[in-house]
Amino acid sequence: MSDSASPADSPAQGDQAPPESEGLTVDAGLKPAGPTPSQSRFQVDLVAEAAAGSAAGGDKTPVSDASTNASGDKAAPAVDEAASGEEAKGRFRVVNFVDPSGAESPPDGVPPEGVQNGDTVMSETSLHSSTGGQHQYHYDTHTNTYYLRTFGHNTIDAVPKIDFYRQTAAPLGEKLIRPTLSELHDELDKEPFEDGFANGDELTPAEESAAKEASDSKGVVKFGWIKGVLVRCMLNIWGVMLFIRMTWIVGQAGIVYSCVIVAMATVVTTITGVSTSAIATNGFVRGGGAYYLISRSLGPEFGGSIGLIFAFANAVAVAMYVVGFAETVVELIESFGTNMLDTVNDVRIIGVITVIILLGISVAGMEWEAKAQIFLLVILCTAIVNYFIGSFITVESKKAYGFFGYDGTIMLENMGPDFRGETFFSVFSIFFPAATGILAGANISGDLADPQKSIPRGTLLAILITGVVYLGVAISTGACISRDAPGPGVTLNMSTGYVNCTDYSCFDYSYCKPSLGMTKSPCGFGLHNDMQVMSTVAGFSPLITAGIFSATLSSALASLVSAPKVFQALCKDNIYPGIGWFGKGFGKNNEPLRGYILTFFIALAFILIAELNAIAPIISNFFLASYALINFSVFHASLANSPGWRPSFKYYNMWVSLAGAALCCVVMFVINWWAALLTNVIVMSLYIYVSYKKPDVNWGSSTQALTYHNALTHSLQLCGVTDHVKTYRPQCLVMTGAPNARPALLNLVHAFTKNVGLMVCGHVRISNRKPNFKELNNDLVRYQRWLLNNNSKAFYTPVLAEDLRQGTQYLLQAVGLGRLKPNTLVLGYKNNWKDGDLNDVERYINLIHDAFDLQYGAVILRLREGLDISHIQGQDDTSGMKDVVVSIDTSKDSDGDSSKPSSKATSLQNSPAVQKDDDEDGKAPTQPLLRKDKKSPTVPLNMADQKLLEASQQFQKKQGKGTVDVWWLFDDGGLTLLIPYLLTNKKKWKDCKIRVFIGGKINRIDHDRRAMATLLSKFRIDFSDITVLGDINTKPKSESVAAFTHMIEPYRLKEDDMEQEAAEKLKAEEPWRITDNELELYKAKSNRQIRLNELLKEHSSTANLIVMSMPLARKGAVSSCLYMAWLETLSRDLPPILLVRGNHQSVLTFYS
């Protein structure tokens, strides 16, 4: 707010006065005075405790307004003389923004609009609006006067509070905005700077909408760790495998190996569970389960690829479990000798009916689904207990089925393996899918009351309980059931020597073992042969059938819920196009009903196939790929050593997580090698797609952290390595000004530095007023984004300085990090040097001298039409286009600077201003460089500007067959030759041949040509021709000399025509003037530049680019205007010419 601002101009937005309620305070009836010139935008009142004897409802004396000082602290405020007892009782006061219009406060008893809970205030048209000035409500707690009492004096500085660190529209509470640094630090006559959010604190629009939906907690069902995680994980892990495959695994592998198999699977799942716990406790977890955990840890590339296949795997898993249920029901029906159609169609009919019922339960809401899960868990637990009770009850009729109760002989016999057509790993691959339910709780992370506590507790406890039960079943079945049994109706063979014996040792079952070369037993019962043997052992066999039903239905139900939840999170992040429609949530729980329907149809399709033996291994591998990436996420985050990696769950180890990731990959190939390969191909394909699409998200992933870590580590390592000629790279400081102001300069330098060397776009912002560093920082972010969006591999560095030379000196000295430091200064040629202030010429030439003093090479690019296009103004309405509009100066005083103060400054569109430059694709852009908005009228350009615009695009296009002419007249270390070599290695320049021109004597032309050819071949640089200029020292044409003399005439000192003292004074005031003495002294050198221009026109008038040795001028001996005249004469009326002078250190070598 400026000192002279009228009340009507004082609102933060500056375009409308705030509503009357905006100036209200808690002290109803008080009329705050209008802001004085010294006030900040905050109206802060002192909180005073009233005397104990104050009468309630007593008159209140208005509190006088006190202005704040420059530091943001309040100057001596007045104190309420008589405050009400109610007000004195509390320590919280609501203080709002000053009402500049002096609006009346509402009467007593009417709560002010915007007052929420006594210590916060909701205000409109806030400076902190994240929507760029749109009206929205948010809370300002830094106006809370409770803070003022904390330190005994008035301040708008806020004390630490959790709400300052929330994300926008956080579900657990409102995000509060702390005072910006500008509001506390800036002068009072300046409008506070709009800092906005920093460090990726803001959400994407999709995340914000999801958070807003989640923030309405009225009636939302949230689960604790038992109902939400433990129950789901136990149901999913136990599954149907417990009842119909565990006994077969014990028969094949024996008790010891079965325990090893269970232990191996439990190790993998435990490590994954620990890793999941670490990620889940490293910050607030939203909905999306495995996808959310991986994407926020490793970034959208891995998260997007895993999220899609994980959601698909869960959808197909619904079909697997439903078909397992349907097959059990069909077998039960067929045991009564009946069926509906045939076995396959019966499975389809029952499967379809089942999945429709499950869909109805899911759509009814998470609460109904959770109740169903609890009911199924009770049945499942009852079935397990029923089995263990039955194992202690020996029944004579069950001995024919192989059950003898706990018997030491059976246990010893079953201790070792008896593989029949299987191996250890094939048996392991059959068991492991039973352990892939550990993410069932994490998948509904958005429906958990406290995911950070629920996921670790529930997941790890579920792994422990289910692992113990699996081990118990393995040991129990191995100790009381024989591997083979003949079944009822078969006479049992008594062993020799035993009479009236009832133990297992009394019976001879050797004939049940398959003969040599056979895998199938002639007997139909026992561990090897009867998949339903647990029903035989159980105290009440129908309960085992109910347990199988419960296991299959609960797993199907969990998958039916998980798939839409994960897919919804994926849709909202907009990683893949065209799927956002499925992400819409409905109802108080934000249920993804469309996702449920999609999951239903996917499951239905696979149920109708009714043949899942081929797809089952792929699904297991999809789950394992997710586990592997979760483990790798923890390792990666720990390796990156980011300060943001601070999980509250401490019981993890990065190397154990890496081992877990490796184990998951090994298990993938053990289960099915071709399915593992297919999974990897799918994941990598999706990864490549997402990487190519580059979604506009910033989640602070460990990939980002590790990139920084590696960059820092390698930069420090480079510092310890001395320079070597073989590793030389041109690292250019390019004085582009605004990067889009001189596209030809940017594109040409980018062509030979891309993927080779460093490129820094230097921008000297000339300001004689007080520096505006905030605007400088804004430009830094904006232009760096512009470079990235245009595929320009460069950095942007602006500086504030009083003139171009001073700013360039700052850049030459300070730009770079260790060895990543520029070694070459690149300038645009100063086309208008004769028309502007000649002191600018002095500064321009001196900055070249500065570069040489600092051991930089120097390069100057000249185009006949010029380089600077910033004066070509766009006519677009730039209101509200903060991110895409940049202010570009129209002053063309120097092609090395684009920001001199000028009254002609115009706005040029930033993002679309320059056509994207894909350096390596070989495609020439056809669109114009400047593209107007469709709504904007087309502005015709004059002929000169049209030519300038076309010339500025010439290096974006693929160069046709032509030449790059290298005039290597002086040995500068080889930079003059290296740059064209690097250029012609690029696709856009690969059709251009290098022609080399050197100076020589007429009688040694052949010798000089052979010597240069030998040198170039040793350097391994291809060339098409070498021309020796034997007539380089020939006197130039008289008309060319006359033109040069005429050009320098206005800049001569002509000291012979004036007094010595007057001449010295004039030279001191105007150091750029050319003295008669130097003109005579350097006459030969002047004639050489004139002659070289004639030769250039003769030999290189059709070249695509001329690269020529830059003439040097001795500092202090040659005036700037004479040097400028040399450069002008040398490069006039030619194709694009690059004047190059290295720092005379070798940049080429022919040694290995």
pLDDT digits over 1082-1100, tens only? Answer: 999 999 999 999 999 999 9
The sign one gets for the Cα dihedral 472, 477, 480, 483 is: negative
User: What are the angstrom distances between the C-alpha of 1110 and each of 356, 969, 1121?
Assistant: 81, 9, 16
Whether the pLDDT of residue 596 is over 50: the answer is yes
Instruction: Mention every residue, 6+ apart, whose C-beta is less than 8 A from residue 433.
Output: 241, 616, 619, 620, 623, 671
Query: 351, 328 in Cβ contact below 8 A?
Result: no
- How high is the pLDDT of residue 152? 55
What is the DSSP track for 722-770?
---GGG----EEE--SSTTT-HHHHHHHHHHHTTTS-EEEEEEEE-SSS
- How high is the pLDDT of residue 905? 35
Query: 787, 689 in Cβ contact below 8 A?
Result: no
Residue 1105 host element (H or E): strand 1105-1109
Whether the pLDDT of residue 568 is over 90: the answer is no
User: Helices 593-609 and 343-363, interaxial angle, to 10°?
Assistant: 170
CA neighbor of 318 nearest in space, from 598, 547, 558, 549 = 558
- φ and ψ of 123, to 5 deg: -120, 155
- φ and ψ of 494, to 5 deg: -75, 140
Measure the CA–CA gap between 1041 and 313, rounded to whole angstroms. 82
Burial class (CB in 10 A: 0-12, 13-18, 19+), 132: exposed
Residue 795 host element (H or E): strand 795-801
Query: 132, 882 in Cβ contact below 8 A?
Result: yes
Query: 644, 700 in Cβ contact below 8 A?
Result: yes
- How high is the pLDDT of residue 266? 93
Measure the CA–CA gap between 104 and 285, rounded to whole angstroms. 46
- How high is the pLDDT of residue 890? 34
Whether the pLDDT of residue 290 is over 50: the answer is yes
Average pLDDT over residues 699-721: 84
- β-sheet with 732-734: strand ranges across: 795-801, 759-766, 732-734, 824-828, 857-862, 1137-1141, 1105-1109, 962-967, 992-999, 1025-1029
Structure token digits, residue 918: 């894909």
Q: What beta strand segments (E) does 983-1024 contain?
A: 992-999
Biggest alpha carbon distance in the chain?
145
- How high is the pLDDT of residue 423? 85
Whether the pLDDT of residue 166 is over 80: the answer is no
Whether the pLDDT of residue 656 is over 90: the answer is yes
- How high is the pLDDT of residue 427? 87
The sign one gets for the Cα dihedral 387, 393, 399, 405 is: positive
CA 630, 632, 634 angle in degrees (round to 5)?
75
CA 81, 85, 86 angle in degrees (round to 5)?
120
What is the DSSP track for 617-673?
HHHHHHHHHHHHHHHHHHHHHHHHT-TT---S-----HHHHHHHHHHHHHHHHHH-H
Q: What is the DSSP letter of 1141?
A: E
Average pLDDT over residues 492-517: 59
- How high is the pLDDT of residue 261? 92
Amino acid at 555: S
Whether the pLDDT of residue 827 is over 90: the answer is yes
Measure the CA–CA gap between 460 and 276, rounded to whole angstroms. 10
Whether the pLDDT of residue 462 is over 90: the answer is yes
- What is the percent of the chain with per-residue pLDDT over 90, rounded to a whole number? 18
Query: 602, 359 in Cβ contact below 8 A?
Result: no
Most confident of 443-452, 485-494, 1088-1097: 1088-1097
- How high is the pLDDT of residue 1124? 92
- How high is the pLDDT of residue 29? 39
Q: How would residue 207 be classed by pLDDT, with cut points 50, 70 and 90?
A: low
- How high is the pLDDT of residue 612? 58
Q: How would residue 996 be classed by pLDDT, with cut points 50, 70 and 90?
A: very high
Measure the CA–CA gap between 1026 and 1009, rounded to whole angstroms. 6
Query: 849, 843 in Cβ contact below 8 A?
Result: no
- φ and ψ of 227, to 5 deg: -70, -35
Q: Tell me the per-residue pLDDT of 373-412, one tens digit each, with 9 for 90 and over.
A: 888 889 989 999 999 998 888 887 788 788 888 888 888 9
The sign one gets for the Cα dihedral 627, 633, 636, 638 is: negative
CA neighbor of 564 nearest in space, from 364, 324, 362, 369 = 362
- Name the 3-class secondary structure at 962: strand
Predicted model pTM: 0.67
- Name the 3-class secondary structure at 575: coil
Q: Rounded mean pLDDT of the chain?
A: 75
Least confident of 425-429, 899-903, 1065-1069: 899-903
Q: Tell me the per-residue pLDDT of 832-883, one tens digit each, with 9 for 90 and over.
A: 888 888 889 999 999 999 999 999 999 999 998 888 888 874 423 333 323 3
- How high is the pLDDT of residue 226? 87
Q: How would residue 92 be classed by pLDDT, with cut points 50, 70 and 90?
A: very low
Q: How would residue 135 be classed by pLDDT, with cut points 50, 70 and 90?
A: very low
- φ and ψ of 21, to 5 deg: -65, -15
- How high is the pLDDT of residue 156? 74
Measure the CA–CA gap between 620 and 313, rounded to whole angstroms. 8
